A and B are shown apart, each in its own frame.
Chain A
Amino acid sequence: MARLVSEFPLGVAGAVVILVIIAVAVLAPVLAPHSPTATSFAPLEGPNARNLLGTDRTGRDVLSRTIWGSRTSLMVGLVAAVLGTGAATTMGLISGYFQRWPDHLIQRGSEVVAMIPDLILLFMIVLAFGPGVWTVIAALSFGGAFAGVRVVRAGVLAEKNKDYVEAAKALGAGNGRVIFRHILPNIASLVVIQATIRLPAVILAEASLSFLGLGIPPPHPSWGADLGGPARTYFRSQPYIVLAPGLALSLTVLAVSLLGDAIRDGLDPRLRSRANR
């Protein structure tokens, strides 16, 4: 443990912050002093004993909304990062292992998707399926699937001609067994690295979509949504309305990025030496 702290001080700091944010998200019903969606107070009140960070323009408690917002960010981020990386891994395995037409199909497909700017693609998916938490997750997973497929494919291509794969095939292992029992474990660190890169990106993307009014629909608490739209008009008189969700969001992404960097350095021995030298 002490070695971990001395080797990856920033990563450990990130992990501690993430644990705190996870605790806040899990304990939101206990921690939040008020309901995040009930408009039970006078609008735009400054910080006071009852509403520690004041109230927003519809009379909701800013502190409670910020606390509940952690659930949205973490849930959307984790699920979309895992689904997106999972899809990228599946496609990368198929593309790299079988090559020929599945490879062509997936590679040309990802080139076409890469042609369309991310945000516009996300807009269209969200508009096509209607706003909602699951639409946002689906859209972000879709984007992630195509973002990571090339890296996984390159990893598979590097592994598939190695002797241990030949040996497994010579022993009569079928394609499924070779892929899942032999190649997948060997590219696992690559997949984990992809997920750690994807997680902060997804959290930011959800916030951006919600900020533009195309993400998590109101009144569901979302840090991005609370930063956007009409709330911006009141920043001068009630800075906490924007500061609280903005800082929470920045801190979460920072912690996730620091932890991700440390995991990457730890998994990749080549990078480990690079980080320390």
Chain B
Amino acid sequence: MGRYVLRRLVMLPPLLVAGAALVFFMLRVVPGDPVRAALGTEATEEEVEALRQALGWNDPLPVQFVRWLGDLARGDLGESLVSRQSVSGQLAERLPPTVEVLVLAMLLSTTLGVSFGVISAVYRNSFLDHLVRIGSVAALSVPAFFALTLLIVLPSQWWNYVPPLTYEPIWEDPVTNLRMFVPPVLILSVEMSASLMRYTRSVSLDVLQQDYIRTARAKGLRERKVVINHMLKNTSIPVVTILGARFAGLLGGTVILEQVMSIQGIGQFAYQSVKSKDYSVVQSLTVYFGLLVILSHLIVDISYAMLDPRIRYR
């Protein structure tokens, strides 16, 4: 197990460098001069040239890439071309709202998705099962930005209720904070729990066919015990896999939700930076996201072994 984790961790840097290289060179293909855009139309040719020189952008691309990698290895993420502030400082500022949305959405959707999936499987072909299944397909079909728009606009039409649009950290003003975060968290959770529910249901149905479930029932265990003690743990292994994969998807989902709610989080940061070709920000964010994605896959693989002692890694 230890060796397996070690080997996976050794693979991490090359993967990150390859991803970083892909983004680095793709960004340079994007037409338009970000320096000129950042300085505005007033700037003279000399000023633009001076900034390019100062940033080291007149060097050959491979030289720039290696220099950037060196900075990255020392923990220096560079500074944003647009705001002229350090990328790590901005990341620290924008991380809390995004993390809050992601954590709340993960918690809520796992609870909803797994419970409804299990209920749907245990009472299969009942009215409840059909309702939950149709509901899940419908929930996956409504685009997040449309659902969120409705969720904000309809209450304002009917009850004149508008969620706050300025961010207050949860440790300073929990009520305002939650009022702002409830709509995006709800939308993200409903969408995610729908796919999680479908998956949990089909896995649970497979588990319920197994011999050990029949044995448990034959022993005279109550159905509640069969489901909780014998079915749930065996259902959890495949479900954990999809959780890891979903986490990566959630990161993308926050871009749209933060845009709709004007939350100044990581998603907005990524969107604005790609749009303004803020090289150092996009590159840092990619490596950062990549690290999160790879680590979440690793945690998933490790949790398999913990949930199922039969799985061994070499």
Q: Which A residues contact B (CB, under 8 angstroms)?
A: 10, 108, 111-120, 123-125, 127-128, 130, 200, 204, 207-208, 211-212, 214, 224, 227-228, 232, 235-236, 239, 242, 246, 249-251, 253-254, 257-258, 261, 274, 277
- Indicate if the CB atoms of B271 and A212 lie closer than 8 Å: yes
Q: Tell me if B99 is interfacial: C-beta within 8 Å of chain A.
A: no
Given the known interface contacts A128-B30, A277-B124, the answer about A116 and B143 at a Cβ–Cβ threshold of 8 Å is: no
Complex Cα–Cα for A123 and B144 (A): 18
Q: Tell me if B248 is interfacial: C-beta within 8 Å of chain A.
A: yes
Complex Cα–Cα for A223 and B294 (A): 34
Given the known interface contacts A112-B18, A112-B22, A117-B289, the answer about A236 and B157 at a Cβ–Cβ threshold of 8 Å is: yes
Give me 7 other A-B pairs in contact (C-beta within 8 A), A112-B19, A127-B30, A208-B144 excluded: A112-B15, A115-B286, A116-B289, A117-B255, A208-B256, A246-B149, A253-B140
Complex Cα–Cα for A123 and B143 (A): 18
Complex Cα–Cα for A228 and B260 (A): 9
Residues on B with C-beta less than 8 A from A239 are 153, 157
Residues on A with C-beta less than 8 A from B137 are 10, 254, 257-258, 261
Residues on A with C-beta less than 8 A from B199 are none
Cross-chain pair count, CB within 8 angstroms? 129
What are 27 A-to-B residue pairs whose CB atoms are below 8 Å? Answer: A112-B19, A115-B19, A115-B289, A115-B290, A115-B294, A116-B23, A117-B289, A119-B252, A119-B271, A120-B282, A123-B271, A124-B23, A127-B274, A128-B30, A200-B141, A207-B143, A208-B145, A211-B143, A227-B143, A227-B146, A239-B153, A246-B143, A246-B149, A250-B146, A253-B142, A254-B138, A257-B137
B215-248: contact bitstring with A at CB < 8 Å (1 yes, 0 no)?
A: 0000000000000000000000000000000001
Given the known interface contacts A115-B294, A212-B271, the answer about A228 and B145 at a Cβ–Cβ threshold of 8 Å is: yes
| Interface pairs A-B: 7 shortest CB-CB | A254-B141, A115-B290, A246-B146, A253-B141, A115-B19, A119-B252, A123-B274
Residues of B in contact (CB 8 Å), total: 49
Residues on B with C-beta less than 8 A from A224 are 143, 145
Residues on A with C-beta less than 8 A from B157 are 236, 239
Q: Tell me if B251 is interfacial: C-beta within 8 Å of chain A.
A: yes
Chain B's closest residue to A123 (CB) is: B274
Given the known interface contacts A130-B31, A228-B145, A253-B141, the answer about A118 and B252 at a Cβ–Cβ threshold of 8 Å is: yes
Which residue of A125, A200, A212, A242 has the most chain B CB atoms within 10 A of its CB atom? A212
Residues on A with C-beta less than 8 A from B29 are 128
Q: Tell me if B5 is interfacial: C-beta within 8 Å of chain A.
A: no
